[in-house]
């Protein structure tokens, strides 16, 4: 019974992560369509919708706002790193090529596996690490980053690519704290709600000082971004609660594929041969990772018969 539970949890983790990847790809599309707005403004509206929806969901739950003993410090750490990740990612998108910013942000699953070593004491084996590296190489083919990502921003004072890299690292650490909270029995809705409200409170003063009036269409795009962010947060929280990052994080790279498809249909951005090669590598890495997990499960089954 316990073996079947482990298999089911892993499958759930993969499904949740795929849904999350698609939701975040849609969020990026809406953020892009929203046009030239301040980074803090985009980040605030991305999270305020999630805060409202998660608040409604938590009111409908039986336990309401009850937080597990010992969760509060971890909630602050998860929310802090998550907020830094969102701001840094949006800053990178606003200052360098969106594709370059995306690949820097997609370092987060790799960083989550590394962070899990220190925070959760979960050590990936060589084959699992190889699958993640292969997926990362595939993402490089899709994005085709150049030396230009290391150029100075328009202000000439900040390296936006370094900020984008910081965003990927921060997001990976945030996901690890998310899993630690889940392992301690904290509810996903509490984690999402706490992060959403924390980020809104932190961002509000910056929004007030940098606010730019929006058109009706921009309001709709940011509303869509917020809705997608809420779905993405809920499902990625459920994914890492169901299964360790080292076993499923490779599937987060499907965001690159989803984003490319959305860009093709809505922004007339068509992939070149290098992108297609990257898609194949990423899918191949996902299949490789899945095959490894199935072989491991089958080996455990045969040894216990």
Domain boundaries of the chain, sorted by first residue: 2-304
Q: What confidence score (pLDDT) does residue 5 get? A: 47
> What's the pLDDT score for residue 159?
63
Q: What is the pLDDT of residue 214?
A: 92
Per-residue pLDDT, 152: 42
Using CA atoms, how far apart are residues 112 and 246, in angstroms rounded to an integer? 8
The answer to whether 141 touches 277, Cβ cutoff 8 Å, is yes
Tell me: the pLDDT tens digits for 109-159? Answer: 777 878 888 888 877 777 777 877 887 787 777 666 654 544 444 444 346
Q: What is the pLDDT of residue 154?
A: 43
Q: Could you write out the DSSP letters of every residue in 4-29?
A: HHHHHHHHHHHHHHHHHHHHHHHHHH
Nearest to 45 by CA among 179, 196, 189: 196
What is the model's pLDDT at position 211?
92
Which residues neighbour 45 within 8 Å (Cβ) at sequence distance 6 or greater? 222, 223, 225, 226
Cα torsion through 19, 141, 272, 106, rounded to 10: 30
Low-confidence ranges of the chain (pLDDT < 70): 1-8, 96-100, 142-159, 245-246, 269, 290, 293-305
Q: Which residues of 188-226 are buried (b: 16+ CB within 10 A; e: fewer)?
A: bbbbbbbbbbbbbebbeebbeeeeeebeeebeebbebbb
Please say whether the beta carbons of 101 and 89 come within 8 A.
yes
pLDDT recorded at residue 80: 95
């Amino acid at each position: 019974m316990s073996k079947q539970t482990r298999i089911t949890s892993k499958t759930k983790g993969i499904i949740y992560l795929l849904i999350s990847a698609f939701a975040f790809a849609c969020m990026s599309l809406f953020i892009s369509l929203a046009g030239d707005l301040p980074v803090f403004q985009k980040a605030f509206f991305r999270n305020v919708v999630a805060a409202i929806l998660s608040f409604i969901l938590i009111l409908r739950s039986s336990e309401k706002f009850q937080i597990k003993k010992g969760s509060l410090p971890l909630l602050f750490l998860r929310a802090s790193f998550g907020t830094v990740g969102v701001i840094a990612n949006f800053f990178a998108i606003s200052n360098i090529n969106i594709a370059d910013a995306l690949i820097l942000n997609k370092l987060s699953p790799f960083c989550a596996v590394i962070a899990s070593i220190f925070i959760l004491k979960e050590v990936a084996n060589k084959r699992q690490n190889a699958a993640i590296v292969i997926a990362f190489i595939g993402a490089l083919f899709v994005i085709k980053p150049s030396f230009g990502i290391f150029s100075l921003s328009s202000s000439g004072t900040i390296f936006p690519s370094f900020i984008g890299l910081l965003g990927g690292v921060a997001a990976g650490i945030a996901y690890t704290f998310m899993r630690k909270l889940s392992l301690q029995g904290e509810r996903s809705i509490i984690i999402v709600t706490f992060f959403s409200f924390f980020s809104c409170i932190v961002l509000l003063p910056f929004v007030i000082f940098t606010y730019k009036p929006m058109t009706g269409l921009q309001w709709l795009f940011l509303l869509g971004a917020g809705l997608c962010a809420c779905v993405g947060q809920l499902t990625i929280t459920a994914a890492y609660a169901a299964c360790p990052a080292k076993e499923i994080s490779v599937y987060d790279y499907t965001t690159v594929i989803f984003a490319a498809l959305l860009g093709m249909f809505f922004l007339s951005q068509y992939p070149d041969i290098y992108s297609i090669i990257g898609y194949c590598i990423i899918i191949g890495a996902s299949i490789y990772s899945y095959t490894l997990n199935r072989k491991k499960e089958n080996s455990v089954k045969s040894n216990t018969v």
